[in-house]
A and B are shown apart, each in its own frame.
Chain A
Amino acid sequence: MDRRTLLRTTALAGLMAAGGCASGDDDAVTFFFQARPEEARARQRIIDEFQRRRPDIRIRTLMSGPDPLQQMLTYCAGGKCPDVLMAWELLYAGLADRGVLVDLREFLDREPDYAARLRADGYASLRDTFGWDGGQYALPEQWSGVFVYYNRKLFEQAGIRPPTRWSEAWSFEEFLAAAQALTHADGDGHARQWGFVDAWVPYFSAALFGMNNGTEWFSPPVRPTRANLGDARFAAGFQFYADLAVRHRVAPSVGDRQSVSAQDLFRSGRAAMLVGGHWLYSEFAGHDGLDFDVTVLPVGPSGGPGAVTDIGSTGLAIAAASPRREQAWEFVKFATGPEGQAIIAESGLFVPVLRSAMESPGFAAAHPTLRDLAVFTEGPEHSRPLAVTPRWGKVEALLERGCNRVLRGAATAASLGGQTSADIDRVLRAAV
């Protein structure tokens, strides 16, 4: 074989291989999601079960990198939008507003009985957070509100009994007293054990403390026109959170957080309380010797009755450009419906979004060591939306800039009512 023939043969073989791959996956429904390894395994269980029941519909998974929104927009702008997309409460509006997502009423209206059953079994707060411009752009698949994990042994040693229900929340003072009692320092002033650490986004957590002092973060939460950073009650709650690290030293400072992760501190027993969501449960539950439980966020003097958290839900959406809408709907219907939710409940890796799955024995059995399961089961009813705006990217950049200044102690929370609020309000109003 001469060189020219060899090159031609190789090129042809390459083309055939490429064509073979493409045709092999052409009819599969692509499913884009972001997940930690444990979560990915739970998703695979749902996919496997769906494929067992519907062998005529194949699912091909696409895992997201660290910035799912950017990845989704890149795929979709490039004409390769996945058929089924994971949707985040804070991020989906930008996609819905650009016409990337299908209004799922197209399918729900066709099956009114199923839609009514889903509605009765679900939580309005979670469902409505994916309602944009009168449409339903995703169906919730998990509740991801945040709460407080606590080390049971350390709490018992300090004689502290935290609340077990959102409706019977503890006060800021009680929370601070607990954190102080659980913080221990070495002789040179370095913390040996922290009372409280944060495994979420610090300024989101701070905003939740603001919300638990009687004011919502953005008004109205869907398509907001203003941020309530300058509201005295919100600012006081936000400042309380910042002071845990800056003034009271019961939580790691911004600098401390650079060198060690909150999860590591909690897992190793060097932190007594941790703010985070259910996505961390499997990480802590799989750790021998860590005896933990969950409790609710504290309520400020102007807040209550009862504590609130964020909805934090993720849902499943279908791409408007999908050529396989019907098959995609069948998968979304399964994963967000009673069958898929039952699998989620049993897996213990998500908090389901249907009452039937939440109250199932499988869900309780998946959390055998927890005494305070009501923190999960009552969570959706005590959830509030953070903000649903197509300009979230811009708002978040402004928030990070202003809030981090407060969290490192270089300014007070009241200062957020100035330029930061004015800049955010301008961005929000431009989107209305």
Chain B
Amino acid sequence: MRGSALGRRQARAGRLFVAPNLAAVLVFLLFPLGFSLYLSFHSWDLFSPPRFVGVANYRRLFADDPLFYIALRNTAVFTVFTLVPTVAVSLGVAGLLNRKMRGVGVFRTLAFLPLVASTVAMAVVFRFILASDDGPANILLGRLGLGPVPWLTDPGWAMVSLSLVTVWKSVPFATVILLAAMQGVPENLHEAARIDGAGGVRRFLSITVPLIRGALSFVFVITVINSVQAFDQAFALTGSNGGPETGTYVLGIMLFQNAFRFYEVGYASALAWVIFAILLGFTLIQQWLARRAESEL
């Protein structure tokens, strides 16, 4: 049955309203995606016409480039170093913010401050804080009787520093999600548990955490995706080459370096699609695990 004239007008107006966004998605998302897939099978330096090379870029990545495995290992380490503290700290912070107590407004402001800071500006401030000899971090350690730490000059410590800065930056977003989920937990469950004699920690672990499983799972996936795609903080904190040595050479740095310093755009596109495949695989596994856990409840 054909709709009324009003219905048709509404549908046309709807299409018109959606059109700008749809155009933006096509031009700025789908076209670059398709073009990068096309480029990943080509050799292109931005000036010469792209030359079709088949799967050579992918073969080079897996068989001939030791730096890919270094970047992969560093990214995995960085993800673990970031994920565990981010989830743990944001759970704790959200738990505290969820309580009705004096001064919670000030605490909330402090907790959400990193969310509004620019990543690069923040990394510059941390470079100052983590300077080897005269940095405030080492001065503080010195007062505690601990030796200076080569935060940004030793490859191992540089990865720790990068993770610390990233955790500091990631916690507020994760906290917002977890706090929203916590506020949806029915108060009467806590009430009942309190009457049964359960303490705060017990109630948090046995009631709050299971009931915010969905939000936790989301935080988990988003943190992993952000970690695997990390670039700006590593670039600003430890330089464009992922130094010192290969200490912070993560996949994001490798991608940038190949595309915009070596002008091997096809090779960088292949790497981008490998990163996409890794993240897709990881997310699917995580979703499958989450669904299985839900069905067991």
Contacts and interface: CB of A to CB of B under 8 A. Distances in A.
Interface stretch (A117-125, A252-260, A332-340): A252-260
Nearest to B265: A77
A99 interface: yes
A311 to B, nearest CB: 23
Nearest to B264: A394
Interface of A: 70, 73, 76-77, 94, 98-100, 253-256, 258-260, 393-394, 397, 400-401, 404-405, 408
Contacts of B132: 253-256, 258-259
Given A400-B243, A405-B245, A408-B244, A76 B47 contact: yes
A100 B244 contact: no
Interface stretch (B188-196, B255-263, B286-294): B255-263
B152 interface: yes
Interface of A is mostly: helix
20 contacts: A73-B263, A94-B263, A98-B46, A98-B48, A254-B244, A255-B153, A258-B127, A258-B135, A258-B152, A258-B153, A259-B133, A259-B134, A393-B261, A393-B263, A394-B262, A400-B241, A401-B245, A404-B243, A405-B244, A408-B244
Given A98-B45, A98-B47, 9 more contacts: A73-B263, A76-B47, A254-B132, A255-B148, A256-B132, A256-B133, A393-B262, A397-B241, A401-B245
A393 B261 CA distance: 6
B47 A401 contact: no
Contacts of A404: 243-245
B239 to A, nearest CB: 8
Nearest to B48: A98
Interface of B: 45-48, 127-128, 131-135, 148, 150, 152-154, 241, 243-246, 257, 260-263
B257 A255 contact: no
B261 A70 contact: yes
A258 B152 CA distance: 9
Most chain B beta-carbon contacts within 10 A, residue among A256, A258, A408:
A258
A401 B135 contact: no
A280 B199 CA distance: 66
A335 to B, nearest CB: 26
A90 to B, nearest CB: 13
A378 to B, nearest CB: 36
Nearest to A394: B262
Contacts of B127: 258
Interface of B is mostly: loop
Nearest to A98: B47
Given A258-B135, A393-B262, A397-B241, A99 B47 contact: yes
Given A255-B133, A255-B153, A258-B152, A70 B48 contact: no
Contacts of A393: 261-263
Most chain A beta-carbon contacts within 10 A, residue among B46, B150, B153:
B153
B153 A73 contact: no
Nearest to A397: B241
Given A70-B260, A77-B46, A394-B262, A259 B135 contact: yes
Given A393-B262, A408-B153, A73 B134 contact: no
Nearest to A77: B46
Contacts of A255: 131-133, 148, 150, 153
Contacts of B131: 255, 258-259
Contacts of B261: 70, 393, 397
| 3 cross-chain pairs, A with B, having the tightest CB-CB distances, nearest first | A255-B132, A77-B46, A259-B134
Nearest to B249: A401
Contacts of B244: 254, 404-405, 408
A254 B153 contact: yes
A99 B262 CA distance: 16
B246 A401 contact: yes
Most chain B beta-carbon contacts within 10 A, residue among A99, A259, A405:
A259
A260 B48 CA distance: 44
Contacts of B46: 73, 77, 98
A258 B134 CA distance: 9
A319 to B, nearest CB: 12
Contacts of A405: 244-245
A206 to B, nearest CB: 15
Nearest to B239: A400
Contacts of B45: 98
Contacts of B48: 98
Contacts of A100: 47
A393 B262 CA distance: 6
A405 B246 CA distance: 10
A252 to B, nearest CB: 9
A395 B153 CA distance: 21
Contact of B241 (A73, A259, A401): A401
A70 B244 CA distance: 22
Nearest to A408: B153
Nearest to A401: B245
B232 to A, nearest CB: 15
B51 to A, nearest CB: 14
